Amino acid sequence: MGTDAGPGSARQPLTQADIRSVFIGMMLAMFLSALDGTIVATAMPTIGRELGDVQHLPWIVTAYLLASTIATPLYGKFADMHGRRVTMLVAVAVFIIGSIACALAPSLLTLALARGVQGLGGGGLIALAQTIIADLVTPRERGRYQAYFGGVFAAASVLGPVLGGFFAQMLHWSLIFWINLPLGLFAFWLINDKLKRLPRRERQHRLDLPGAVLLVGATTSLMLMMNWGGHDYAWLSPQVLGLAAVSLLAWIGFFARLATAHEPLIPLAILADRVVAAATFSGALCVGTYVGLSIMVPIFFETSLGLSARQSGLALIPFMIGVPIGATISGRTMAVVANYKAVPTAGLALSVLCFAAFALLAGDEHFWLCEVLLAGTAFGIGTVFPVVTVALQNAAPIHHLGTATATMNFMRQLAGAIIVAIFGAIALGGGGLAVEGFERRGAVDAAAFRIVFFIAVGMLAAALAIFALMEQRPLRDTAPPEERSGS
């Protein structure tokens, strides 16, 4: 079995400089994954024209989303089985290989397949980075590091569309994938040596292959149904209904497997913990709502308020930067106060109030007030992210830390995909996101967007209720003891 170091190897403890190097490497890995979710969108029309296939452009996004969502929980299990270093380096390597294949793709079909390979690597980068940081620092210190990760996502959200549009218009679309090569290689080099001395957390585990197959089938059919329904096929078409049936049966089989397997893919003991369950589901609702609104709000600006694509992008900036600001304040507060739930509880309440006001007032005459309300909404959502992550990792058993963290990220990705599809189906009359090119005011009924916005308010309120019920356990002030394989 591969491990981070041999059982008999002598390892010196990591210094603060080593931890900083590892942390920079983790931030780079997370930036790669986050950037790839935003940089492609503005280049898609150019890619479709140059490859001569516009109809199947959504598969560039869908293939990556499918593969990364499926891979996330598997990486968590592998990290607990074989160690963090080997698993993280495999994820980075697969992501780089997929990026090269994307850049060299001669057709849209080839590009979609390459994006799937890229997603298989990208699915592990975020969860593994969070797990490795959890191995290095105590729960009380961890909130500060999680806040930095919020800044990574904000930077990717702002830089991605700008870089994608610049590369596609001024240079060549393939550069949006070639840029991953130097960044990925640098991250690979930076973390490789230092992670050899990472504290050992792996134990003897067995991979539940039937459970993994059921999870892949359930997730794939569900996401295909959400992407195709109302866009490629009618919601009541045999294709969509068939996918719904397959997904339902696979989910039933997966949960039955969790209850009966000797060592299931996601141990029920993890989700049976009230802190882990509350942190997972409240965080998933927050992330899913945030992702859904980051897509729907610009479309509302363009189709209902008549803003240009550039103007709507600029108008979204307050929403994008609110999250890292909230995460930074909340994460730093965790390290110095005992009642670490206070800030995110108040923050989520602020989000509910701000976005309820936005749903009521959205329009030209209140545009600047709506910008302030968007910033307040995002700030409140941001306060939740570091706290639920640290609370979950503080409660999860050390030998299941990778699995618990990956499960949390899997639920967030799945929630994002489902909520985006629901919002799209209501606001646009179909589940797809191929909405580029709206050129006239009122192209989409603003009333449909208001329904979406009030649903988002309900989701944030549900997240607040779940988070408020989460038990507040004291954070550990010391790092967990090192564990040996087979212990």
Residues 158 and 279 in one domain: no
Residues 338 and 239 in one domain: no
Instruction: Judge whether 357 lies within some domain.
Output: yes
Residues 36 and 75 in one domain: yes
**DSSP-assigned states of every residue in 97-116:** HHHHHHHH-SSHHHHHHHHH
The greatest distance separating any two alpha carbons of the chain, rounded to the nearest whole angstrom, comes to 70
Domain boundary among 264, 281, 301: 264
Q: What is the pLDDT of residue 435?
A: 40
Q: What is the pLDDT of residue 467?
A: 92
Name the residue range of residue 242's domain.
208-264
Residues 212 and 174 in one domain: no
pLDDT in tens, 98-125: 989 988 988 888 888 898 888 888 877 8
What is the overall mean pLDDT for the chain?
77
**DSSP-assigned states of every residue in 314-356:** HHTHHHHHHHHHHHHHHHHHHTT-S-TTHHHHHHHHHHHHHHH
CB 4 within 8 A of CB 195: yes
Residue ranges in 171-231 assigned as alpha helix (H): 175-178, 180-195, 209-228
How is residue 480 annotated by DSSP?
A: P
Segment (H or E) for 79: helix 58-82
Residues 327 and 244 in one domain: no
Residues 50 and 132 in one domain: yes
Instruction: Judge whether 461 lies within some domain.
Output: yes
Q: What is the pLDDT of residue 42?
A: 63
Residues 250 and 272 in one domain: no
What is the pTM (predicted TM-score) of this model? 0.72
Q: How large is the average pLDDT for residues 190-211?
A: 66
Closest CA to 199 of 487, 469, 432, 423: 487
Distance CA 306, CA 304 (A): 6
Domain boundary among 192, 220, 248: 192
CB 92 within 8 A of CB 124: no
Question: Residue 229 in 3-state DSSP?
Answer: strand
Tokens of 168: 């596609």
Residues 127 and 214 in one domain: no
Q: How large is the average pLDDT for residues 282-293?
A: 87
Tokens of 387: 């706290």
Instruction: Judge whether 5 lies within some domain.
Output: no
| CATH code of the domain in which 134 resides | 1.20.1250.20
Q: How large is the average pLDDT for residues 399-416?
A: 77
Residues 308 and 360 in one domain: yes
Distance CA 292, CA 455 (A): 11
Report the sign of the C-alpha dihedral through residues 425, 428, 433, 434, in that order: positive
pLDDT in tens, 425-470: 777 654 444 444 444 444 455 777 888 899 999 999 999 999 998 8
How is residue 173 annotated by DSSP?
A: T
- Asked if residue 209 has pLDDT above 80, the reply is no
Q: Quick one: how far is CA 255 from the chain centroid?
A: 23
Residues near 427 by beta carbon (within 8 Å), at least 6 away in sequence: 296, 299, 300, 444, 448, 449, 451, 452
Question: Residue 13 in 3-state DSSP?
Answer: coil
- Asked if residue 23 has pLDDT above 70, the reply is yes
Residue 229: phi and psi, rounded to 5, are -60, 125
Distance CA 246, CA 429 (A): 24
Residues 146 and 243 in one domain: no
How many domains does one find in the chain? Answer: 3
Q: What is the pLDDT of residue 392?
A: 86
Query: Is the model more confident about 38 or about 170?
Result: 170
Residues 176 and 305 in one domain: no
Instruction: Judge whether 197 lies within some domain.
Output: no
CB 147 within 8 A of CB 328: yes
Q: Inter-axis angle of helices 367-395 and 342-361, to 10 degrees?
A: 150
Least confident range from 85-94, 204-213, 336-345: namely 204-213
pLDDT in tens, 414-433: 787 778 777 777 776 544 44
Residues 26 and 140 in one domain: yes
pLDDT in tens, 132-190: 777 777 666 666 666 677 667 767 766 776 777 677 767 888 888 888 888 888 888 87
- Asked if residue 356 has pLDDT above 80, the reply is yes
